[in-house]
Amino acid sequence: MFPSLVLVGYALVTNVCAPNAILGCEHWMISVKEVLVSPSLGLAHPVWIERLPWLCQGCTIRGVDADLYDFGFFSGRSSLESVQDNWSTLMGATGASSVVHGRQVHGTVIR
């Protein structure tokens, strides 16, 4: 089981780098500051809350105990079994029946 949610004292900012029907933007780059929904739900993307009310979106982070907090299938830091156990625990804690996992890319190069 995961420890209680700890809220960090800053909001996350998402940079969207293309026009997008969901976000309704006409610019090539926008920044969206995530907002605190509640202490139990944490931060959320305000446009997604409005336009996709059925969607539960979240970000995972690394913690002090790599095995406990590692959700990275591609990080190579923890065993696949440990990462799968973490996702199963998170799904059980949130009541999610499925999860979509995207590979996070750092940088500006598109391949």
Q: What is the pLDDT of residues 21-54, one digit of tens each?
A: 555 555 445 566 777 776 666 677 777 788 887 7
**What pLDDT is attached to residue 60?**
67
Query: What single string gives the DSSP state of each residue in 18-78?
Result: S-BTTTTB-SS-EEEE-EEEETTTEEE-HHHHHH-TT---------SSHHHH---TTT-SS
Predicted model pTM? 0.50
Structure confidence by residue, pLDDT tens digits, 54-85: 777 766 666 556 666 677 777 777 888 888 88
pLDDT range class, residue 89, cuts 50, 70, 90: confident
pLDDT range class, residue 110, cuts 50, 70, 90: low
